[in-house]
Amino acid sequence: MPPHQPADRTPASVVDALFRRESGRVLAGLIGRLGDFDLAEEALQDAFTVALEKWPGDGVPDQPAAWITTTARNKAIDRLRHGRRQGRRRLELEALARSVSSAGADSQEENALSPIVDDRLRLIFTCCHPALAAEARVALTLRTLGGLKTPEIAAAFLVSPAAMGQRISRAKAKIRDARIPYRVPGDADLTDRLAGVLSTIYLIFNEGYSASSGDRLTRSDLCAEAIRLGRLLAELMPDESEVLSAVALMLLHDSRREARVDEGGSLVLLPDQDRSRWDRAQIEEGMGLVAKAWRMGAPGLYGLQAAIAAEHARSVDGSAPDWERIANLYGLLETVNPSPVVRLNRSVAVSMTGRNEEALAIVDELLADGGLAGYRYLHLSRGEFLARLDRYEEALAAYGNVVRLSENQVDRSFVGKKLADLQQRLADGPGPSP
Amino acid sequence: MKYLLILQGTEGEEQANMTPDQMIAAMEPWNRYTQELVKAGAFLAGEGLYPSASATTVRHVEGGDRIVSDGPFAETKEQIGGFYLLDCADLDDALAWAKKVPVGPGSAVEVRPVMDFTDFGYETPDATTPTG
């Protein structure tokens, strides 16, 4: 069939959209019933290939997702009959696949379509298991639950499709060989394991949000994907306040994405951002989730971060953020997550309350600790505090460090403006205060 | 499914200088842990090893030669001090046992799934077969 004929475009785009929307759900169900990650994935790919072949001629079936599920089951049985799997395991799997098929035939088709909630939740916990490396968790989660194809994930993480394919197949081999279970952990481990799931989703978001290099368009897709995964998790675990908070945090950050960069591509800091470019719907939803999560109990890592983001988002209506409260929230966050980056953020909030000396003392301490010496935002903040204290020579040196450390053109041109501004002030003579 | 728990730690002089009473006291948590494994039906085997200074390595080199040399695989600070062979349902089960091994701080427990060759005609000798 000619490639540009409209008749074959529609089914192909239906298949594509269906893959994005439903592959995670169907795959989760297949893995749950077959107990074999690889077999389920192969069968699902087969089913989509058949759909691409048949639908342009036969038309799209009434219930495409149910059609895919049934076809994938049959393909799983075919693969078992003709495949490499041998011995007892093969017999076990064949019996499983047959039972799945007959159950599907007996019951209503919509039964196959009904949300297999537990299976998707199991799949998330398997993909984000602590026995897998963080980068493998990210790739596997995007591929299985996000319905992203390997080359798409590779492009977003700036590695070759071959390398990404290898990363994913190594992770799947470990799931199989080490027998990483396909289940939601028990109460004793749930908090820890949920933290691992949330950190994986947030890592995907951050990769999209604070790109240190690369193509911006592909990157923003990662933000949308992370929010979608977060929403899914919130739907599956509605009583977990940290899940709601994580979704809120991502929404509140994402609401400002358009305003973070100006037309020339330069980074715009929060106080200078055009509020009209903030996404109000996302802010409203995020603030609602923050309030709901805080009513559920003591806030954790994400509850505190989301509360800070919500405080910033309040200024969408022109009201000033409560910097004292933000500084206190960062103080609480330090007790949950004593990281130097959190301390750096607290220093910024402290500076905004007008206590620049105190803010400078915090960053100087961080600089002395050495852990963040190569972190460009530390030098950027230090430059800001020094400039506010009219110590322009030192501020210039700090901004010089930012330029030296940045790989990102947007950051560089931002600092370039700061440098020019400071050099002008120095040329104009001593600052306003003695 | 079988898992091998490889116990790794920094070798010290402590054991060599212990009195018999101290040795018995030091063994107490290990006895308790092993009994717990047996009770749960997870224990297949487990032993402690002499320090790596007692190790001899036989290298199989190209051309069929076997080279016998003094010492462990690698002369690193961390050495294998013992092992447990366990029968567990899955990795989470094995990791839960690995978290309970009474090794001291600074030690590590590596968890390795054991390959199953029974489908390929390999018969596991009785000594390591769980009852039944």
Tokens 């842990």 found at: B33
Nearest to residue A294, comparing CAs of A306, A280, A285? A306
A179/B1 Cβ within 8 A = yes
CB A152 within 8 A of CB A186: no
Separation between Cα atoms, residue A107 and residue A22, nearest integer Å: 20
What φ, ψ does residue A424 adopt, rounded to 5°?
-60, -45
For residue A201, give the H/E element and its range.
Answer: helix A187-209
* Closest residue on chain B to A174 (Cα): B113
Nearest to residue A321, comparing CAs of A352, A277, A275? A352
Separation between Cα atoms, residue A218 and residue A66, nearest integer Å: 31
Residue A341 belongs to some domain of the structure: yes
**B 15-74 residues with CB < 8 A to A:** none
- In chain B, the N- to C-terminal Cα span, in Å, equals 14
Kindly state the DSSP code that residue A264 receives in the 8-state scheme. Answer: T
> A181: which chain B residues are within 8 Å (Cβ-Cβ)?
89-92
Residue A213 belongs to some domain of the structure: no
Full domain range(s) for residue A96: 1-114
Q: How many domains does chain B have?
A: 1
B113/A179 Cβ within 8 A = yes
Point out the domain boundary residue: A61, A87, A114.
A114
For residue A60, give the H/E element and its range.
Answer: none
A271 touches chain B (CB under 8 A): no
Point out the domain boundary residue: A96, A114, A132.
A114
CB A290 within 8 A of CB A248: yes
A189/B113 Cβ within 8 A = no
Of B1, B95, B119, the CB nearest to A89: B119
Separation between Cα atoms, residue A260 and residue A183, nearest integer Å: 40
* Closest residue on chain B to A89 (Cα): B119
Full domain range(s) for residue B54: 2-128
B110 touches chain A (CB under 8 A): no
Q: B interface mutation test: which of A179, A180, A182, A192 has the most B CBs within 10 A?
A: A179
Of B89, B90, B119, the CB nearest to A88: B119
Residue A312 belongs to some domain of the structure: no
- In chain A, the N- to C-terminal Cα span, in Å, equals 80
Residue A132 belongs to some domain of the structure: no
Residue A336 belongs to some domain of the structure: yes
Q: A interface mutation test: which of B92, B95, B97, B117 has the most A CBs within 10 A?
A: B92
Q: Give, in degrees to the nearest 5, the angle at Cα A273 between A366 and A218.
A: 85
Separation between Cα atoms, residue A116 and residue A103, nearest integer Å: 15
Q: What is the domain-level CATH number for residue B40?
A: 3.30.70.1060
Q: What is the domain-level CATH number for residue A339?
A: 1.25.40.10
Tokens 């963080």 found at: A134
Of B91, B118, B120, the CB nearest to A131: B91
Residue A43 belongs to some domain of the structure: yes
Nearest chain A CA: its distance from B120 CA (Å): 8
Q: How many domains does chain A have?
A: 2
> A179: which chain B residues are within 8 Å (Cβ-Cβ)?
1, 90-91, 113
- Give all strands of the β-sheet with B43-48 in edge-to-edge order: B43-48, B78-87, B2-10, B108-113
Q: Is the ipTM of this complex over 0.90?
A: no
Nearest to residue A178, comparing CAs of B49, B127, B72, B95? B95
* Closest residue on chain A to B113 (Cα): A178
DSSP 3-state of B123 = coil
B6 touches chain A (CB under 8 A): no
> B98: which chain A residues are within 8 Å (Cβ-Cβ)?
none
Give chain A's radius of gyration (CA, Å).
Answer: 26
Predicted confidence pLDDT, tens digits, chain A (434 residues): 444 444 445 777 888 888 878 888 888 888 888 878 888 988 999 999 999 899 888 888 888 888 998 999 889 888 887 766 656 566 666 666 665 544 443 343 434 444 444 688 889 999 999 999 999 999 999 999 888 889 888 888 888 999 999 999 999 989 988 999 888 888 888 888 999 999 999 989 988 886 644 555 456 788 998 999 999 999 989 999 999 999 999 999 999 988 887 777 777 877 788 888 999 999 999 999 999 999 998 899 999 999 999 999 988 887 888 999 999 999 999 999 999 999 999 999 999 999 999 999 999 999 999 888 888 889 999 999 999 999 988 998 998 888 888 766 666 777 777 777 777 777 776 544 43
Kindly state the DSSP code that residue B72 receives in the 8-state scheme. Answer: -
> B118: which chain A residues are within 8 Å (Cβ-Cβ)?
88
Nearest chain B CA: its distance from A181 CA (Å): 6
A87 touches chain B (CB under 8 A): yes
The number of residues in chain B equals 132
Structure-block tokens of residue A264: 């020339």
Q: What is the pTM of this model?
A: 0.78
Kindly state the DSSP code that residue B115 receives in the 8-state scheme. Answer: P
Point out the domain boundary residue: A55, A89, A114.
A114
